[in-house]
Amino acid sequence: MKKVITRFAPSPTGTLHIGGVRTALFNYVYAKQNDGLFLIRIEDTDRERSTKKYEKDILDNLSSIGLSPDQKPINQSERNEIYTKAAEKIVESGNAYWCDCSPEELDKMRNEQTAAGIKPMYDGRSRNLGLERSEKTVLRLATPEDGDIIVNDIIRGEIKFNNNELDDLILLRSDGTPTYHLCNVVDDYEQNVTTVIRGEDHISNTPRQIHIQNALGYPELEYAHLPLVLGTDKKRLSKRNAATSLKEYREKGYLDSAILNTLARLGWSKGDKEIFYLNDLIKDFDIKEVQKAGAIFDISKLDWLNSQHLANLSLEDFKNQLEPFLEKLNISINDHHDVDLLIQSMRTSDNTYSGIAESLIPYYREIESYDEKAITKFIKDKSILNSLKDIFVNIDNWNESSIDIVLKEFQTQNELSVPAVNQPIRIALTGSTKSPSLGLTLAIFGKEKSIERVENLLSYV
C-alpha cells in the first residue's frame, strides 16, 4: 500500500483562519494515524494578493499550535517551470487549446447567458480555431463535452457531475502564468499526495481537477470534503461574523489544545467524549465519521473546553502560560509572597488566561477603585472594620484556619451575620465582594498587607 500523504494548501492572502486550522488539523491527524506524511504547500499564484507576511503568519501559527509539516513547505510561485512543462504536455496531447477571447468579450458572453437564463460558462468558441500562442491568448483545457465524471468522496460518497456542466477552464493566463487548478493538480502529483482533505467549497472544483489529472495521465486521488465552519449567521465563518484569526484566540488566552479540541468537535464526535488532545485525535478520529453539514462555531463551547483544559494543567504549566498575560498588564507573576497559593486559589476565576490575569490585578497592585454599590450595601459604619483591624493585629499565627476561627468568634460574639463581617473585608482587600473563601484570601495577602488594606478602606469611607 502507498504511504498516505496529505497536504494543507493555504493561499497567503490573510492570516491563519481557524477554519484553516481545522482543515490542517484533519489533514495532520489523518496522515499521522496512517503513519504517513503531512505537507504544507503555499498557493501563492495570485501575486497581487499574496504576501510574505501572511505566509509567515500561517506557517508560524501552524507550527506553534503543533501542526508542523513533515517536509519543508513549498511555494507555487517558485515552481513556474514545472507547471509550464505540464501545460505543454497537455497541449501536445491535444487536450488544450489557445484562446484569444478578451475579458470584455467573456464578460459580455456571460451577461448574455445570464439574461437568457442559462448557466454562465465559457462556450468553447475558440476551441476549434487552431489559434497559435500569442500575448493575448490563454491556454484552456479541452474538457470532454459529454459523459460524466464521478468524484468519490470519503465523507459524502459518490458525487456525479455532468461534463457538459463544466467549461474549458484556463490553465495558463495570457501573461503565461499558471492558474490555481493546474498548479494544484500538478503539485499534488509532484508531492505524491494521496489524499486531498479540504473544505466543501472545493467540491465543484474537483471534477475540473480530475480532468486535468486525466489529461496529464496522473493517478486518481482520494478526496474528503469537509463541511465548512460557519458563523452564527450560518454563513461561512469570516471576519464579518466572528473573530477568525487563530492569533486573536491565542491572545485572548485560549489554550492551543482547547482550540484544537473545539475545532475537532466541530463536525465530528466520538461517543460522549468531549475532551480530546491531539494524541486522542490520532487514536480516535475517523475521517469517515465527519459530519456532512456545516457547523456553526460556538464560542461558549470553546470557553468551556478551555476551562477544562486549563484545569488539567499542572500548577507549574499553568503559571508558565499565565505569565505572559500578566506581563501584558505589567505584572510580574513572582512579585507576590506566596505565588503558588495565590494562583492555585484563583485559577478557576475565569476560563481564559486574559480573564484570569485581569482578576489577579488586585492581588498585585494597589486598589484603584472600590465597588461603590458593595460599599453602600455592606459598610454602614466603620465600627466593624475597626474592630476587625484590631483583631488582625493580634493574630500571631496568620494562616487560613486560625484566621477563620478568629473571624467566627468575632461574628458570634457580636451576633453579626456572616456577610456583615466578611464582605467589608473582601471589599477592603480586593475592592469588590469577589474573592476566594475569606480566611484563604487573608492568608494570600498576608498579615501586613491585609491590615494595610483595611486601613485604606477605613480612610476612604
Partner RNA sequence: GUCCCGUUCGUCUAGAGGCCUAGGACACCGGGUUUUCAUCCCGGCAACAGGGGUUCGACUCCCCUACGGGAUGCCA
- Are 13 and 238 within 8 A, CB to CB? no
| Residue choice 195, 244, 306, 422 for contact with RNA (CB under 7 A) | 422
- Are 18 and 228 within 8 A, CB to CB? no
Q: What does the per-residue mask of binding to RNA show for 226-265, with x meaning CB under 7 A?
A: -xx-x---xxx----------------------------x
CB under 7 A: which stretch of 20-28, 62-70, 313-321, 345-353 binds RNA? 345-353
Measure the CA–CA gap between 245 and 237, rounded to whole angstroms: 10
| Residue choice 75, 163, 241, 308 for contact with RNA (CB under 7 A) | 308
Write down the least CB distance from residue 2 to RNA, Å.
25
- When the beta carbons of 73 and 294 are compared against RNA, the nearer one is 294
CB under 7 A: which stretch of 214-222, 225-233, 277-285, 328-336 binds RNA? 225-233
Measure the CA–CA gap between 339 and 224, rounded to whole angstroms: 49
Name which of residues 39 to 78 contact RNA (CB under 7 A). Answer: 43, 45-46, 49, 76
Residues near RNA (CB under 7 A), total: 85
| Residue choice 75, 241, 277, 304 for contact with RNA (CB under 7 A) | 304
In what order do the strands lie in the sheet containing 138-141? 96-99, 138-141, 170-172
- Are 241 and 235 within 8 A, CB to CB? yes
Name which of residues 133 to 162 contact RNA (CB under 7 A). Answer: 136, 138, 156-157, 159-162
**Rounded to the nearest 5°, which phi and psi values hold at 130?**
65, 35
| Residue choice 84, 174, 244, 450 for contact with RNA (CB under 7 A) | 174
DSSP letter for each residue of 297-312: --HHHHHHHHHHHHHT
Name which of residues 183 to 222 contact RNA (CB under 7 A). Answer: 200-205
- When the beta carbons of 157 and 219 are compared against RNA, the nearer one is 157
| Residue choice 115, 293, 316, 366 for contact with RNA (CB under 7 A) | 293
Measure the CA–CA gap between 251 and 146, rounded to whole angstroms: 53
Name the nearest CA neighbour of 14 among 58, 69, 47, 74.
Answer: 58
Q: How far apart are the first and last CA of the chain?
A: 79
Write out the three cell numbers for 356. Answer: 484570569
Question: Can 239 be counted among the known catalytic residues?
Answer: yes
112 contributes a contact to RNA by CB under 7 A: no
Catalytic residues: 239
